[in-house]
Amino acid sequence: MDNPKASTLASAGKFLGPFLPAVVVFLVAMVWGTLASPFFLDIPVLLLHSGRYMEIGLLALAMTLVIIHGDIDLSVASNLAFSAAMLGLVYESGASIAVASVAAIAVGTTLGLFNGFLVTVVGLPSLVVTLGTLALYRGMAQIALGDQAVTGYPDGFVGADQNLVFELIPLPLTVFIVMAVLIGFLAHRTTFGFVSLMLGKNQVATMFSGLQPKMNRLIAFALSGAMAGFAAVLITARLGSTRSNLALGFELLVVTIVVLGGTDIFGGKGTIGGTVLALFAVIAVREALAIQNVNGQIQDAVIGLILVLTIAVPVAVSRLFGRVKVSRRKALLGLEKGTTQ
């Protein structure tokens, strides 16, 4: 007869398994930050500071879809920079900030589609394509703006990240929550999401199933580009200026968040909920380090270490358990042979 408690624990373990690394990182960071400063757990302050990470969160939501397919988009931060550059130039040309913002999102989507075209139609590996466009799009932003910065945005646009919804939740966090719900629905409640998981697990089988894997992958890259454009609008409103070096290093944070949230770097597994949880875990880590005046380079090193451990530890554990199982089987076979002789 099954043990109900054991069954419940097993079910809970199976549910929490993909999210466990993010939960552990979040709890450790929160405890560490609280010990470092009694003001760390000031919720209104934490919520307000979260606004600076929501651009990264938007990129991570779309990146989750891309990686679930078995692809990757390393150009998201460079795409953001060029989209922001286009926002600035369109606004300087005399257009309204609304038109400039739409232009930024359209440019980001177009660059994402270009990545998707090279991957799905031409058949190039996504790692190679987006590594190339990482440099290409950043160079395009540099050519567009040079060493100059675009400033002078309208007052209602600059500082919009300080606006509070329900007098508590910052506007960027509200935007992120809405996008997380929409992309979560797309990923987990539609045919698109089902095909995405199937494609990540076995591209060949999916191609012979009568589904449209190329279109799925193209849409994922387009969404990644659209989120880069959307993030370009948010970061411009937050900073009040546009430079070609915007979002440098965001690629590391985005990939770390997605993988920490339980998405398999090789595709076929992942959830938007896990990505959301991992985002707040990374925010907790960065804020805990910042409150102790740890410089940005060391913060990046810590994030890099988290990424490596998130990928390496599950692989090491699975191999260890695999060896243990093999050893047990060999021992059982040896016992069986001994009893039959």
Q: For residue 328, is pLDDT > 60?
A: no
Question: Cβ(62)–Cβ(84) under 8 Å?
Answer: no
**Does 310 share its domain with 186?**
no
Question: Cβ(171)–Cβ(165) under 8 Å?
Answer: yes
Query: Considering 293, 308, 324, which residue would you say is the last residue of a domain?
Result: 293
Q: Which residue has the higher pLDDT, 312 or 3?
A: 312
Q: Given this model, what pLDDT does residue 330 score?
A: 54
Tell me if 207 is assigned to some domain.
yes
Least confident interval from 147-156, 169-178, 203-212: 203-212
User: Which whole number is the average pLDDT over 113-135?
Assistant: 97
Residue 242's SS3 state is strand
Q: For residue range 96-118, what is the model confidence (pLDDT) as tens digits? A: 999 999 999 999 999 999 999 99
What does the alpha-carbon distance between residue 40 and residue 24 come to, in Å, rounded to a whole number? Answer: 18
Tell me if 139 is assigned to some domain.
yes
Domain ranges, residue 334: 299-341
CB atoms within 10 A of CB 327: 10
Tell me if 23 is assigned to some domain.
no
**Does 125 share its domain with 254?**
yes
Residue 166's SS3 state is coil
To the nearest whole number, what is the mean pLDDT of the chain? 87
Dihedral angle at the C-alpha atoms of 49, 51, 56, 62, nearest 10 degrees? Answer: 140
Tell me if 10 is assigned to some domain.
no
**Does 188 share its domain with 304?**
no
Q: Given this model, what pLDDT does residue 9 score?
A: 40
Q: For residue 4, is pLDDT > 80?
A: no
Which CATH number covers residue 160? 1.10.3470
CB atoms within 10 A of CB 5: 8
Beta strands of the chain (E only): which ranges? Answer: 164-165, 169-170
Cα 67 → chain centroid: 9
pLDDT range class, residue 332, cuts 50, 70, 90:
low
The whole-model pTM stands at 0.87
Tell me if 309 is assigned to some domain.
yes
Q: For residue 285, is pLDDT > 90?
A: yes
**Does 176 share its domain with 308?**
no
Tell me if 284 is assigned to some domain.
yes
**Does 305 share its domain with 185?**
no
Tally of domains in the chain: 2
**Does 200 share its domain with 324?**
no
Tell me if 232 is assigned to some domain.
yes
**Does 202 share its domain with 136?**
yes
**Does 73 share its domain with 141?**
yes
What does the alpha-carbon distance between residue 259 and residue 272 come to, in Å, rounded to a whole number? Answer: 11
**Does 141 share its domain with 281?**
yes
Tell me if 1 is assigned to some domain.
no
**Does 333 share its domain with 229?**
no
**Does 257 share its domain with 199?**
yes
User: Which whole number is the average pLDDT over 71-88?
Assistant: 97
Q: Given this model, what pLDDT does residue 167 score?
A: 80
**Does 277 share its domain with 316?**
no
What does the alpha-carbon distance between residue 89 and residue 198 come to, in Å, rounded to a whole number? Answer: 42
Q: For residue 90, is pLDDT > 50?
A: yes
What does the alpha-carbon distance between residue 51 and residue 168 come to, in Å, rounded to a whole number? Answer: 12
Residue 285's SS3 state is helix
169 φ/ψ angles, rounded to the nearest 5 degrees:
-95, 125
